[in-house]
């Protein structure tokens, strides 16, 4: 089963009468005048991360960041979370304390509190976080309309570049920091929830997450590559390591920026809020996703997209 097939299978098999269940960044259940958002993410050693890539406090922080970003992607405010931790016996009590020190620091950073959990010995490190948030007006991924502008809150590819630098044995780079310590866009998500039609966070790459938004919205899109923010430092490191810049920008994952669509009229109001973002394209009719550079369409083979779409089967978020 591919990811859309798996999600459709689950949606058929598990109807959810409390609200919106499987299929977005978080479930949505009405609670009085507000909505409760809940999302869960599983991070496994040697599947999603290598233990050697970052100290345990940094891994704890990142595990929480991934979940915080799911709430941000719905325009919500994260509140508290539950932790299932599988901890290898080879690690010490000092390691355990370091993990929880990172978790506490991350909780303070994003204003979320630990509410409960379960703990077990395990062969490899395993971090499953379930996060609870709220929103007066949750923003789903299915509301994009043809003619909407396509916006992004920041640069992409930096985290993927950081991972390649780590794999190449480098230690110090702002891209490694981006990879290890991503910043979920809570504040921007809250503002965007008042203006945007659809939103998703970029966890698995710009094109793959955009394709999820487009599928949910039954729409297509055209991206203007030259409108995507790419810094000179990023270009330089890509050249130095012999990496394909476009592939990292379009398909590198774990940036946790927000991708959203907004009508041209509402975008004028959004601009006046002072929120930082870039308009990188437009929503179109049909289901096609095209990338242009200075008006010329890039061949799909250049986008690294199919590769990542296939790889996504190893980490499906329902």
Residues that bind its own copies (CB under 8 A): 1, 6, 9-10, 13-18, 21-22, 26-27, 29, 31-32, 38-42, 44, 46-48, 79-80, 82-86, 93, 96, 100, 104, 107, 113-124, 126, 128, 130, 132, 314-318
State phi, psi for 93 to the nearest 5 degrees. -60, -35
**DSSP letter assigned to residue 218:** T
Enclosing H/E stretch for 190: helix 186-192
Residue whose CB is less far from its own copies, 63 or 250:
63
Tokens encoding 2: 């591919």
Helix (H) or strand (E) holding 37: strand 34-44
* Minimum distance from residue 18 beta carbon to its own copies (Å): 6
Nearer to its own copies, 67 or 153 (CB): 67
- Residue carrying structure tokens 């379960």: 118
Comparing CB distances to its own copies, the nearer of 237 and 254 is: 254
Q: At what angle do helices 93-110 and 56-72 cross, to 10 degrees?
A: 30
31 versus 272: smaller Cβ distance to its own copies: 31
Greatest extent of the chain over all pairs of C-alpha atoms, in Å: 58
Distance CA(262)–CA(225), nearest Å, equals 19
Least Cβ distance, residue 29 to its own copies (angstroms): 8
**Least separation, in Å, of the C-beta of 151 and its own copies?**
26
In the complex, what is the shortest distance from the CB of residue 164 to its own copies, in angstroms, rounded to a whole number?
22
Q: What distance in Å separates the CA atoms of residue 101 and residue 130, rounded to the nearest whole number?
A: 19
Q: What is the closest distance, in whole angstroms, from the C-beta atom of residue 232 to its own copies in the complex?
A: 36
CB-nearer residue toward its own copies: 96 or 279 = 96
């Amino acid at each position: 089963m591919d990811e859309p097939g798996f999600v459709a299978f689950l949606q058929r098999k598990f109807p959810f009468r409390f609200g919106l269940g499987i299929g977005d960044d978080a479930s949505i259940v009405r609670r009085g005048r507000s909505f409760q958002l809940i999302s869960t993410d599983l991070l496994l050693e040697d599947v999603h991360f290598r233990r050697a890539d970052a100290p345990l406090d940094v891994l704890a922080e990142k595990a929480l960041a991934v979940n915080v970003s799911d709430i941000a992607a719905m325009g919500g405010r994260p509140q508290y979370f539950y932790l299932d931790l599988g901890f290898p016996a080879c690690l010490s009590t000092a390691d355990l304390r370091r993990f929880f020190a990172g978790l506490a620091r991350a909780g303070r950073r994003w204003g979320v509190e630990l509410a409960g959990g379960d703990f077990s010995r395990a062969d490899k490190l395993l971090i499953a976080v379930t996060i609870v948030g709220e929103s007066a007006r949750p923003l789903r991924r299915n509301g994009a309309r043809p003619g909407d502008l396509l916006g992004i809150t920041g640069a992409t590819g930096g985290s993927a570049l950081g991972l390649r630098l780590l794999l190449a044995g480098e230690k110090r780079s702002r891209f490694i920091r981006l990879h290890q310590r991503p910043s979920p866009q809570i504040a921007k998500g809250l503002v965007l929830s008042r203006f945007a039609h659809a939103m998703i966070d970029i966890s698995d790459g710009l094109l793959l997450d955009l394709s999820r938004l487009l599928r949910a919205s039954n729409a297509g899109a055209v991206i203007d590559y030259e409108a995507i923010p790419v810094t000179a430092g990023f270009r330089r490191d890509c050249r130095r390591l012999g990496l394909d810049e476009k592939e990292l920008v379009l398909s590198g994952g774990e940036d946790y920026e927000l991708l959203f669509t907004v009508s041209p009229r509402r975008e004028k109001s959004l601009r006046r809020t002072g929120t930082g973002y870039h308009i990188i394209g437009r929503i179109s009719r049909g289901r096609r996703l095209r990338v242009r550079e200075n008006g010329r369409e890039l061949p799909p083979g250049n986008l690294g997209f199919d590769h990542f779409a296939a790889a996504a089967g190893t980490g499906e978020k329902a």
